[in-house]
A = this chain, B = another copy of it.
Amino acid sequence: MTGTAVFDHPILSGLFGDEEIAPLLDAEAELRAMLAFESALAEAEADAGLIPHEAGLRIAAACAGFIPDIPTLKEGAARDGVVVPAFVKALRAAVEAPHDAHVHHGATSQDVIDTALTLRLKQVLPVIDHRLEHLVGRFEEIGEKAGDLPLMAHTRMQRALPFTAADKLANWRLPLERCRARLAELQPRLLVVSLGGPVGDRVSFEGLGDRLAEDLAKRLGLHPAPVWHAQRDCIAEFGAWLSLVSGSLGKMGQDVALMAQNEFGEVRLGEGGGSSAMPHKSNPIAAEMLVTLARFNAGLLGALHQALVHENERSGAAWSLEWMVLPQMIMTTAAGLRHAEALAANLTFVPLS
């Protein structure tokens, strides 16, 4: 049984995981995306005359049915610091001579790994955005029904003056709406193909690199972009966006946890939150989780931005740091949205009497 990280933990993943997002990010999805890259690259290179037409067909066909041997890949990743050499070797064996030599033509590890990331993000982002949209809609619904209810505003942890549920809801809704706008802005920068060749100058594509990158992007449904091997700002920007979302949800969670204090009773939540020792209690689990997830993501964001210092043309150290951090940030944000939806679905304001 695995389980040092909460997201894939056999028990804790019920709390911290996300069954919709996890399969879009996991090793299987990554391998599928890597094969999609190699397949589309071969086809684009065949079209451009960089590799034989036959090789393009054969490689694409092999990619469609290729199931790599995981232990071999694991061993390769441990040895080479990245799975790509072992992966390409195995794929070449599947493609067989004489076309095997044309697999991964002109490309480098970072091309396939980074494109496999953005390909998966292309699937993840609509899910996250849809959850944001849904949550915003849910807050609007609550507001329509209960926006006029009087609540007590608290500033600096003290009772201030009465205000309304609509004011409270605005604090939860508006940051999420702005996050949706931000996502629309950053998406064209993020969902781009990576194609640079060994040192990021596209020289290995014999003068056809820019055209190839454009064609490859088209085939993969990504945006074309200049080489970004050593330019990690769009990754770091995305991490910050994730933390903005989870932080905004954390604010909502903290509000709800405070309002749900028995001494306040300003909000009623659904069931759940049992205690092993005190059966009379009903703990605001989802609200607490939102705070936890916000603080975790904020901490990880600090680590991710360290990876901006990506030395030279490819930094094994900085790049690997992204691998450790970014998937967790996505899962954290997704779990937050899941908990926020559950919270919002069951939340009822108790008006000030």
Identify the A interface with B (CB < 8 A): 1-16, 22, 25-28, 30, 70, 73-75, 77-85, 88, 104, 107-109, 112, 153-161, 163-164, 167, 170-171, 174-175, 178-179, 182, 185-186, 189, 197-201, 203-204, 226-228, 230-234, 236-237, 240, 243-244, 247-248, 250-251, 253-255, 257-258, 260-264, 272-278, 281-285, 287-289, 291-292, 294-318, 320-321, 323-325, 327-328, 330-331
Contacts and interface: CB of A to CB of B under 8 A. Distances in A.
A303 B295 contact: yes
A83 B236 CA distance: 34
Given A155-B199, A230-B171, A320-B289, A11 B73 contact: yes
Task: Identify the 9 closest CB pairs spanning chains A and B, nearest first.
Answer: A302-B302, A299-B303, A247-B308, A5-B5, A14-B78, A240-B240, A298-B305, A153-B199, A81-B285
Q: What number of copies of this chain does the assembly contain? A: 4
Nearest to A181: B189
Contacts of A178: 189, 233-234
A274 B79 contact: yes
Contacts of A278: 108, 155, 160-161, 198
A294 to B, nearest CB: 5
B250 A309 contact: yes
A179 to B, nearest CB: 7
Given A88-B276, A251-B310, A283-B157, A3 B15 contact: no
A8 to B, nearest CB: 4
Contact of A284 (B158, B251, B289, B300): B158
Nearest to A176: B233
A263 B263 contact: yes
Contact of A258 (B6, B185, B302, B312): B312
